[in-house]
Structures are given as C-alpha cells and as structure tokens.
Amino acid sequence: MLRAMMASCPCASGRPYDACCARYHAGEEPPDAETLMRSRYAAFVRGDHAYLFRTLHREHEDHAAGAEAYRVQLARAAKRTRYDGLRVLDHDGPDADGIARVLFHVTMRFEFRDASFAELSSFVFDGGWRYVGGITRRMAAAQAEGMRIATFVGR
Ligand SMILES: [Zn+2]
C-alpha cells in the first residue's frame, strides 16, 4: 500500500503519483496545457481511457465516435504498447487564438519494436485544457535532446 502510494508518477515529474497526476485523473482540471499533456501521458501509461476521452477536445476526430469506441481503440493498442518515458521539451502560448502548444518526446515500443516519437501537441481551453491534435515524428530520444518548437516546425 505504502509502496503504491509512493510510486513515482509516469509523467516523469519526479513526484509520487498521488501528489502529481492523480488529482487530475480524479476530476480536477489541470492548470495549464503542459500539466494536461503530462496527465494524459500518465493516463496512457495507466490505461485510464475515460480520462483520455474526457480531455479530448470535442472537435478532435476521435470524439465523434464516442467514449466507448475510443476506449476499445485505446485498449486494443495498449496491449501492444510499452511506454518507457516522457520528456517535455518546450511549450508556448496560449496565442491570440487561445492555442497552447507542448513539444515532447515519448520513448516507447509498439509490438516490441522501437516506436519512439516527438510530438507537437495543440491544446485549447474549453472548460478545462483539452487536446486538439498533434504533429508527430518518429525520433530517438537522443535526436530530440534539446529540441525546441521552432526547430521541430522548421525541419
Ligand atoms: Zn504526473
């Protein structure tokens, strides 16, 4: 029990899960886009598909199919996925249109093969911060080291 309470949060904050993303998964709204992004990564690792659906912007393409279809889709992928780490690289905004962006790198395996990638995600505030979408590029952690949004977009 104590061990479980002290387990470090999957979002790589260095804090215990209970003092980090647990409160967002329990219903509290993250204060900014980066915190939301971290909490979504932690939800992927923990298989919290309801949270992932709840924090998806209603205009995201996966929203229309509904929570159950999304859960089934994520659960199917989760069986073949192993998450090995998150690194947040950069963030900006919100800009004049209310869009905040976070650039991050995820080390992961899909069907036992390296599938690590960098993603520039976009978020808007709509009752809480919500995930709108992202641009991803397959990339090793070493390649993403020190990368900024301007570099990622300019490539
Ligand atoms: Zn966390």
Query: For residue 20, how far is its CA from the centre of ligand 1 (angstroms)?
Result: 4
Query: For residue 74, how far is its CA from the centre of ligand 1 (angstroms)?
Result: 20
**DSSP-assigned beta bridge partners for residue 135:** 120
Query: For residue 12, how far is its CA from the centre of ligand 1 (angstroms)?
Result: 7
pTM over 0.85, yes/no: yes
Query: For residue 152, how far is its CA from the centre of ligand 1 (angstroms)?
Result: 24
- What type of residue sits at position 96? A
pLDDT at 24: 98
> Is pLDDT above 80 for 93?
yes
What tens digit of pLDDT does each residue of 10-42 get? 999 999 999 999 999 999 999 999 999 999 999
> Is pLDDT above 70 for 1?
no
